[in-house]
Each structure stands twice: as structure tokens, then as C-alpha cells.
Amino acid sequence: MEHDPITVSIERRVNPARISEATIWVQAGINLANKYPGFLGSGWIRSGEHSDLWYMLYRFTDEATLAAWEHSSERAWWLQSGEAFMEQSRVEKRTGIEGWFDAPEGILHVGGAQIDETDAAPPIPSAPPRWKQAITIWLGFFPLNLVFTLLVTYVVPGWEPLGVFLHVLVSTLILTPIMTYWLLPFVTRVLQPWLQAPRRSSSAS
């Protein structure tokens, strides 16, 4: 069974007086993770030249390989060795359908991973609101399902007598891969400016 890759984004605060140690520490963590099965890459970026915020990410092929790394004794030792100058403040995991809504622009490749190139932004853009994701999926699924239904109804002999169960079974088996690998990625690219538009503040300016 194929699983979706999982990307973990971590925000950490670093003691400004110990930047050199922190840089070596981060690279040591990348080298350790690189030995684990399922590792797809990792990287890090600083928020700014004088900022103490560092954004780090790593990606594994699935939950099982990610868990093997996150629960390993090597990672526990590595995290403990950085406690004196590194403080974790936020963790975000991205997988499955929300991965389709990541912004494709402004990406920097570091150590085999992709990181947002903008200095002040975290490496993984925030997913759009759920209602925007729902509209995007519907805009892809409705015309696809409509065209498929019209085609099989008028072109495929003996389609109608198959019954509801077989109708749904066959249609989902055919339409799900089309939606997943071609149509939904295309729709999200077209709607990307709208999906990634800044959210309006609830308070009046």
C-alpha cells in the first residue's frame, strides 16, 4: 500500500551567542536522520540575519518511518545535546490532502529538502482555510463526475442495469486516481493566488 510522505516543520529559538554550535548541531541531526529508512530530505533556514528564530523541516515516506526516527535513541541524544542553546516552540506535520495546497513558489532546496526562500516565512506555508479547500475539491470533482456520468450513461452498453452499488464502485475506482494525480493538482495551481491570499483580520483597520 502506498502512503503519503510526511513533512515535519519545526520552529526553534536559538541562543544568538551560540550560532556556530547551533549550526553544527543542526547538521549533525540531518546526518543522523539520513541513515534512517524512508528519509527524503531535510533543511533549515534562519528567519533573518539577527533573528533567533530558525525554521527546520524533514520529510519521511510515511508515518512508520517517521516514527522510527522520532522515537530513536539517536534522535533523543541529539535533542538533548542541543537543549543548552536551542528551544523548540512550534511543530507542524503536513500530509495527505493538505499537501496539495502548499504554495509552489519561492522554494529553496537545502540538503535535499524544499524550504521557503522568503526570510521571514516558515518553510512550509500555512494551508488555506478548510472552506477554500472544500471549494477547490468541488470545482475539480463536480465537472469530472458530471462528464464521466454522461459518458458511461450514453456510451457504455448495459451501464444502467448494473445498479447503484456497481455504479459507485466503478466510478470511484476510475475517478479517484484522475482526481488525485491530475485534476486536483491542476485546479490548485490555477487557484493558487486565491488559496494563498492573506487572511483578512477580524478587526477593522
The secondary structure of 85-124 as a DSSP string is: TEEEEEEEEE-GGGGGGS--SSEEEETBEEEE--TTS-SS
pLDDT at 30: 87
Confidence band (pLDDT; 50, 70, 90) for 6?
confident
Same structural domain, 158 and 68: no
Assigned domain for 76 exists: yes
Residue 132 has pLDDT above 70, yes or no: yes
The whole domain housing 104 covers: 6-116
Element (H, E) at 57: strand 53-60
Non-local CB neighbours of 20 within 8 Å, separated by 6+ positions? none
Same structural domain, 21 and 100: yes
Indicate the residue type of 201: S
Same structural domain, 10 and 83: yes
> How many structural domains does the chain have?
2
15-24, 67-76, 85-94: least confidently modelled range: 85-94
Residue 103 has pLDDT above 60, yes or no: no
**Dihedral over Cα of 105, 108, 114, 120: its sign:** negative
Element (H, E) at 46: strand 39-46
Same structural domain, 96 and 178: no
Confidence band (pLDDT; 50, 70, 90) for 82?
confident
62, 82, 116 - which closes a domain? 116
In the structure grid, which three cell numbers stand for residue 32, read together? 543522523
pLDDT at 2: 52
- Percent share of the chain, pLDDT over 90: 2
Residue 189 has pLDDT above 60, yes or no: yes
Same structural domain, 183 and 106: no
Q: Output the 3-class SS for 180-194.
A: HHHHHHHHHHHCHHH
pLDDT in tens, 7-55: 888 888 888 888 888 888 888 888 888 889 988 888 777 767 777 888 8
Same structural domain, 79 and 51: yes
60, 86, 116 - which closes a domain? 116
Beta bridge partners of 33: none
Same structural domain, 10 and 111: yes
- Across the chain, what does the average pLDDT equal? 75
Read off the CATH number of the domain in which 28 is found.
Answer: 3.30.70.100
In the structure grid, which three cell numbers stand for residue 124, read together? 512550509
pLDDT in tens, 155-177: 888 888 888 888 888 888 888 88
Instruction: Please list the helix, strand and coil fractions of the chain in percent, rounded to the nearest 5, in that order.
Output: 50, 20, 30
Assigned domain for 1 exists: no
pLDDT at 200: 62
Residue 128 is given by DSSP the state: P
Assigned domain for 204 exists: no
pLDDT at 85: 83
- The closest alpha carbon to 137, from 78, 200, 184, belongs to 184
Same structural domain, 54 and 111: yes
Assigned domain for 188 exists: yes
pLDDT at 96: 52
Beta bridge partners of 55: 11, 45
Angle between helices 130-155 and 164-178 (to 10 degrees): 120
82, 116, 150 - which closes a domain? 116
Same structural domain, 108 and 135: no
Same structural domain, 138 and 173: yes
Indicate the residue type of 168: V
**What span, in angstroms and rounded, lies between the C-alpha atoms of 112 and 12?**
20
To the question of pTM greater than 0.75 for the whole model, the response is: no
Assigned domain for 123 exists: no
Assigned domain for 205 exists: no
Assigned domain for 202 exists: no
Same structural domain, 100 and 59: yes
